[in-house]
Amino acid sequence: MVTAVAYRLATQHAERQRILDALRLSREQLLEVKRRMGEEINRGLAKESHDQATVKMLPTYVRSTPDGTEHGDFLALDLGGTNFRVLLVRVRGGKRRSVEMHNKIYAIPQEAMQGTGEELFDHIVHCIADFLEYMGMKGASLPLGFTFSFPCHQNKLDQGILLKWTKGFKATGCEGEDVVSLLKDAIHRREEFDLDVVAVVNDTVGTMMTCGYEDPLCEVGLIVGTGTNACYMEEMQNVELVEGDEGRMCVNMEWGAFGDHGELDDFSTEFDRAVDDCATNPGKQRYEKMISGMYLGEIVRNVLLEFTAKGLLFRGKLSERLKTRGIFETKFLSQIESDRLALRQVRSILQHLGLTSSTCDDSILVKEVCSVVARRAAQLCGAGLAAVVDKIRQNRNLSKLKITVGVDGTLYKLHPHFSSIMHETVRDLAPQCEVTFLQSEDGSGKGAALITAVACHLLCLIASVNQK
């Protein structure tokens, strides 16, 4: 009898580990992800292969980071998820340089995210009007930087053609259009104020600029939150979509789409495919779906469903709530992995999911699932970043590169182990690069204002030269 029980338990344990092993990546697999990311980077930069590349390597027309001489008051808009921010940023240059910020957060209703473009941009302008009134600046006209964290094609700093919506947005009449024009049209419809839209930037670029204000070695921006993306300073001679060989330009990688042509298929699992099949954009943003906060909770939920169906968890009994898509939030992963005491947090989350009779063994297994899914996400992100820093090192023909990466995003900031696993992966896969990670505070909005400040400063210099 004892032998039969022991055999059953051993068989169950082996089956659990077999399922989880599909989500564990070896060093060789991570090096292969790094190599494939490097290939896609080169394809995205080259004019001939750009259209076929999954990693689009979009030129941003940001040519330099702040040097401390910028000065003035700027408005910044930050649209990148379900919340939208309006900021007033006061930049003071000189020896006692400082950046002072005031901001307000506004929700974007589902109907605006998935209605018409006019409705979405009218809502944004309504929020700007509310903010200006709140700041006692009704009717003010200021230079404005627009952080717009969706894939855009840019031919200049103050234009961004939306290539495709991501992160659950579906507003009609926007894809293929210049978002600066859509914003200006909505401002004119309101007839209350006028704003000079100087720059449209991605949140990764804003993060890099904000951290670059503090650390001149910061030449990479990384976001790991609801979605994931990266940017870095590339040599102009490699940016074939833009004329000119001198200096550098920040390139918005749009790396979330890595894998859309099958580059990640041999690392993908049935759980990833289940998440992808039910997403609003099946077959798209495959790398992002294995890494970012919008999807990790759903991957965990699918693993838990599989374990339960095989009788390896919750005595084989599912709660109705656990069957609900999106019910296992990514923040649960952070809470569960932060819980060092008696699995109390796990039990409380399982009760919230209607699993009131879960056992201690169930809690231990749920915690292991969360740990494996988060570890894989951090390692995949680290492999991509290792490809980026190694590319910069090779561009500059250096045996050793010293560089800083500016990072923002809730998953990176709030998960107890994500950042350390990612750092460790970058160190392991790019040993010739000494990488420092600088956490950005208010990177995306502040960065848009700093890019606007740099652009306005440059325009003033050009004007003064022309007058002479």
Which residues are known catalytic residues?
Answer: 85, 149, 203
The residue whose two tokens read 């589902």 is 110
Count of C-beta atoms within a 10 Å radius of residue 132: 20
> Which of 85, 212, 99, 237 lies closest to 149, judged by CA?
85
Q: What is the DSSP string of 432-460?
A: TEEEEEEE-SSHHHHHHHHHHHHHHHHHH
Find the Cα–Cα–Cα–Cα dihedral 237, 240, 241, 243, rounded to 10°: 50
Sign of CA dihedral 108, 84, 125, 60: negative
* CB contact at 8 A, 143 and 456: yes
> In what side-by-side order are the strands of the sheet with 98-107?
98-107, 83-92, 72-79, 143-148, 196-201
Cβ count within 10 A of residue 398: 13
Separation CA 440–CA 409 (nearest Å):
9
Find the Cα–Cα–Cα–Cα dihedral 294, 300, 302, 305, rounded to 10°: -150
Say which residues have a Cβ less than 8 Å from residue 229's Cβ, sequence separation at least 6: 149, 202, 203, 204, 222, 223, 252, 253, 254, 255, 256, 288
Q: Which helix (H) or strand (E) holds 77?
A: strand 72-79
Q: How far is CA 218 from the centre of its chain?
A: 17
| Nearest-angstrom CA–CA distance, 450 and 74 | 9
User: Considering Cα of 437, then 440, then 445, then 451, what sign does the dihedral take?
Assistant: negative
Nearest to 365 by CA among 356, 353, 373: 373
Calculate the CA 177 to chain-centre distance: 22
- Classify burial at 17, counting beta carbons within 10 Å of its beta carbon; exposed 0-12, middle 13-18, buried 19 or more: exposed
What number of H helices and E strands is found in the chain? 15, 13
The alpha carbon of residue 155 and the mean position of all alpha carbons in its chain are separated, in whole angstroms, by: 23
Beta bridge partners of 161: 153, 178
Residue 95 to residue 108: CA distance in whole angstroms = 40
**Residue type at position 259:** G
